[in-house]
Structure 1
Amino acid sequence: MTSTHTGDVDIATLTDEVIRSFDGTPNVRTKAIVTALVRHLHNFVREIEPSLPEWETAIEFLTAVGKKCDPVRQEFVLLSDVLGVSMLVETINDQQAPGATDSTVLGPFHMTESPARQLGDTIDEVGAPQHLLVTGTVRSTQGEPLPHATVDVWQCNEEGFYDVQQPDLQPAGNGRGLFTTDQQGRFWFRTVTPSHYPIPTDGPVGELLHATGRHPYRPAHIHFIAAAPQHRPLTTHIFMPGSPYLDSDAVFAVKHSLVGDMGTADAEHAAQFGVEIGSPLATVDLVLAPAAPGGTDAP
C-alpha cells in the first residue's frame, strides 16, 4: 500500500496534501467537487479554529441529523433548507432555464408518492366545507401548451400539517395528487386553502433554530413538480398572497413571481368545475425550459 502522507502534519501544507490524494480520481467532475470541498472546509476550520469539544459537537449534530431521517422525514433536506443552501442551488440552476417559471425548494415532505388523480378531482380526502379551486397550464418557454405533462402536487391542510405528520388524522395521500394535463396543457383540481406552518422543530434542525433565535415558520403554499418529455422538470410553489411570513420564510424560498394570482370562482367556474360561486380560485402558469441537448433533464 502506498501512503499519500509525505511528512509531519503542517497547517500550511496539509490542505494541498489532502487535495493531491485525489489526483487519481477518474471522474473529472467528482475530482473538482471533492477538491473544492476539501479546500473550502479546511479554510472554514482555519477561520473558526474549533476546539476539540466543538468539533465533537459538530459531529454529534450531523449524526443526529442522519438519525432523524426516515422514509417520510428528510432532516438533511431540512438542514439544507434552513441554511439557504437548497435555495442557492435552485437559484443557480434557474440561470440555465431562462424564461421558465422560477423554481424553489423541494422541501422535506415529498417523501411519499402522490396518488394518480383525474383532472377535476379533489386532493382533500377529509371533506373540508369549502374548496379552493386551482386551475393551471403547463407550457414551454415558446408559449406552446404541453399536453400529457405530469403535475405532482402536495400541500399541508388548513391547520398546517401534511398527511405524514398526522397519520392518525389524515389518510395517506391527503393533500397530494399526480395529474396529467389535457391536450391544451391544462390541469385543474380542488383542494383546501393551506395554512402557514412551522417546519419540524423536534429534531436537531429545530435545536439549531432555537439556539440561533430564528423562527421556524413558512408562509402558506402549494408545491408543484411539473415534467414533460424534452423539457427540464420544474419544482416550484405557489404562495398564498397575504400569508404571514412571506417576508421571512424560514427556508428563504419566497420569490415575488411565485406569490399566487388569487380570485374567486364565478358562475362559469361553478358550472365547469363543480365549486360554489365565490369559492377561492388560484390560477397557476407553469413554464418549462427545454432540456439541455444530450442531457438527462427530460423524464
Structure 2
Amino acid sequence: MLGAHTSAADRRLRLREELAGDAILRFPGAINPLNAQLIEQIGFEGVYISGGAFSAAQGLPDIGLTTLSEVTEHGRTIAGMTNLPAFIDADTGFGEPMNVARTIQSLEDAGLAACHLEDQVNPKRCGHLDGKEVVATSEMTKRITAAAGARRDPNFVISARTDARAGEGLDAAIDRAKAYADAGADLIFPEAMRDLSEFETFAKALDVPILANMTEFGKSELFTADQLADAGVKMVIYPVTTLRLAMGAIEDGLRTIMADGTQSGVVDRMQTRARLYEVLDYESYNAFDENVFNFTV
C-alpha cells in the first residue's frame, strides 16, 4: 500500500546481486505505475522504463524530444510504486558529459536502480530503424566516465548501449563495448543484434554482463529467455510490449464502439473492476483508513 515498502538503495543492491547470479533477469516495460505493480505481482525480476514508449505516450516520436525533467518524473512515479528495481532509458544523457552527470544524480534521487546511455548522435532515433549515426568512441567514453563519476550510490547500475552494429559491424561494436566497460559501464546493451550467435559472441568478448532488447517488429528475432540465457545474455528487456498490447486493445475497442454504438461487445476483454482493485490492493487502503479513523478513546 502507498507504494514500495523497500528503499531505493535496497532495490539497487538487489539488482547488483542478481546481475552477479546465475539466472537471466526479465524486465518488461512499464508504461505507468499500475503496469509496474502488475509486473511485480506476476513475478518478474524488474521493471524497464522505455524512452520510446514514454515518447509515444506523449504523442511524440522517439527522436530525443523528451527532457530530463520529464523522464525523471516519469521514472519517479513508476519506481515509487514497485519493490522491483527500475531500469530507465536515459537516451544520450540529455547533453554533454556534465549534463550526463546531472542526469545520473537526478535518476538516483528519483529512486531508479539503473539507466542506460547510448552512443548515438543527437537527435537520436529508435535503435531498430535504419540511418542511425553514432558518435566517436571517445565521445561515448566521456559520457560513461561522467556518469560513473557522478553516481553517489555505487550500486546504481550504469549500462552502455551501442548502436554501432548496424553501421560499423559486429567487431567494431564489440570494440566500442570494451571501451565503454573500461570507462565504467557495468552492463552492455548491444542494440539490434541479428541472431543468437551475435549475442553469444558479444557475451564471450566482454567481462561485464550484456542485455538483449526483445522489441517487436525490430531487427532481432524474438528469442525466448532460455535461448538468450544459453547465449550468455544476463538481462532481457521487453520495452514497448505492454504499450503495444494496450494500444492494440484500445484501438479495437474504440472501433467496436464506433461500429456498434456500445462497448458491450468488448467487456469480456476488459480488466474487471474487481481485478483492478486487487492489483491496486484497494482493501489495504480501506483497512488503513478504518484503523486511523475508527477508534475508541
Superposition TM-score tier, normalisation by shorter sequence:
under 0.3
TM-score by length of 1: 0.26
Query: In terms of Rg, which structure is larger?
Result: 1
TM-score by length of 2: 0.26
Which one has the bigger helix percentage? 2
Which one has the bigger strand percentage? 1
